[in-house]
Amino acid sequence: MALLLIRHPSEPAATLTRPANSGGFTLIEVLVALTILTVALTSIYRLQSDTFRMSDDTRFYTLAPMLAQQKLSEIERQGLSLAAGGSGDFGQDLPGYAWSLQIEDAQSDLIKNPKHHLIRLDLEITRDEIRRYTLRTYRFYVD
């Protein structure tokens, strides 16, 4: 039996102690991983917020020209000779959207007849007084 307990020199010794590199993470590895994760999540958050802002801008700059055209159609339907500047909103359908109109006589050397008029219309569409869309157009009418 004594021969069975003798270890051969080429065989590795069985150790009961745990080796230093046993597969766990060091503090530096954890900190590096957290730093990378923080940078990635911050970039994703910023990208997401930029996407929401651009989507909102796109919606406004798509809708504002249509609202301006609608308001100009209303003014022309009422008659350009009766048109006056003013402001208002678009009601419950489009909360936060507002319009303002300025009308001025435009002078032209080509128009000699006093019954013929050329007016300049400046129509501004705003949303929450942050975004602005301005449309300037000229209209000709006869008394």
* Tens digits of residue pLDDT in 42-56: 999 999 989 988 999
Q: Is the pTM of this model over 0.75?
A: no
Half-sphere exposure of 48 (CA within 13 A, CB side): 6
Q: What are the structure tokens assigned to 93, written together?
A: 């359908």
Q: Which residues of the chain have pLDDT under 50?
A: none
AA identity, residue 112: K
- Three-class HEC string of 33-101: HHHHHHHHHHHHHHHHHHHHHHHHHHHHHHHHHHHHHHHHHHHHHHCHHHCCCEEEECCCCCCCEEEEE
* Closest to 130 (Cα-Cα) out of 91, 94, 98: 98
What's the CA gap between 6 and 140, in Å, rounded?
116
The pLDDT of residue 124 is 96
Report yes or no: 117 and 140 within 8 Å, Cβ to Cβ: yes
Report yes or no: 124 and 134 within 8 Å, Cβ to Cβ: yes
The pLDDT of residue 7 is 57
The pLDDT of residue 3 is 52
The pLDDT of residue 58 is 93
The pLDDT of residue 9 is 60
121: left (phi over 0), alpha (psi -120 to 50) or beta: beta
